[in-house]
Structure 1
Amino acid sequence: MTDPPDTTPDTTPDTTPDRRPGGRTARIRAQVLDAVRAELAEGGHERLTMEGVATRAGVHRATVYRRWRDVGGLLVDVIDAAGEIDWQPPDTGSLRGDLTALNREIQESLVVRPSPALALMAASFHSPQAARAQTRLWADRYAQCEVLVERAVERGELPARQVDARSLLIAATAPLYHQLVLLRAEPDPRLPEQAARAAVLAAAAGAFFVPREADT
């Protein structure tokens, strides 16, 4: 026997996008995305449902279905919302200091419990939509952080040759994900600075230089 159709009146204000800053649309979106994060933290992707999100958010489920369509749509919007945060890369005055500060931010985001960053990474393995959104977010963050390398070249910390900034950034940050996500090791307060120092030494030695045509 199937469940009877839901005939409960939808009293939630219309969520059609409007031009007012804040407003009903922004409030409802914030409620729903907060609910998605909480549901992910408690039960993971496997237990994330449209109905559960609607109940936790205090929003009629018809509204959630109408705007986000399915769980994949909810995950995409949560990830997109992370990219909307007005975040700026560290500026400590040195490449090593910048990378260390960046690594400390990453470590903090991975060790806090519950960790929204970890929950979204796990969910992206179950949803192609979320995986694409996660890739966009990471690409944007790496692009933002390329300024760290540009400033290092301007300060003379790195030789004035073209440096593959993304490769340098990946080398500096990868040990955090390896230790905390793959190995699930206890956080090491020394690791952010150690990984940054290793990447800077490798960069100074030419590990991330883009070969010139004459060199190939």
Structure 2
Amino acid sequence: MAKGGVFCVEGQWHRDLNDQSSVLPTLELLQRLQAIRFIHKDVATREELAYFLDRWLLRQYADFKVGFFAMHGEPSKLCLTDRDTVELDEVADMMAARCEGKRLYFGSCSILRASDARLHDFLDATGAALICGYTRDIDWVESAAFETVALQILANGDRADAVERRMGSTAWAPLASYLGFRIVYANGRTWRPDARSRVPTQAAAV
């Protein structure tokens, strides 16, 4: 059976052109493990972001139901580079009414710290099934470890709440809580892992 597809747009993280930091190795690992299939595109401007999102939403890529936004972020804002940002509302306009059934993962610091109203407006505008991501500044290695699990569940889970069910009842719950992970569903419901959870001591060595 073909594995679920992840479409990733990655911002340009650093000013130094020699820096090779990227989520690409995480995606390649998951594909080699036959956990997902993926398409990865680099974006540095809002025009590039709009172009690749438009291509992703063509019918021929319908089985790539997870949209993964890998870039720096602030509440309600994506940072494509150190100089170019785009508001969450602008991203919604780029995908307006074309994301039915899509699951959108923002691997960006603090972007899910936006208000409930703004996130629900985003879902209403795009038609996506859910939006998820982090409510705090995150560490690269910790988030990468979390995403190796979250992305494959989003891509392959039959239920929209598959990540919630898995992360809320396993050893991943403390890390999800520590990262400030949050899910907002199109039906208006939101979910966070138990706030009392803490990252296990051994996780600090990851």
Q: Tell me the TM-score normalized by structure 1.
A: 0.30
Please tell me whether Structure 1 or Structure 2 has the larger radius of gyration of its CA atoms.
1
More strand by share: 2
Higher helix share: 1
Q: Normalization by structure 2: what TM-score?
A: 0.31
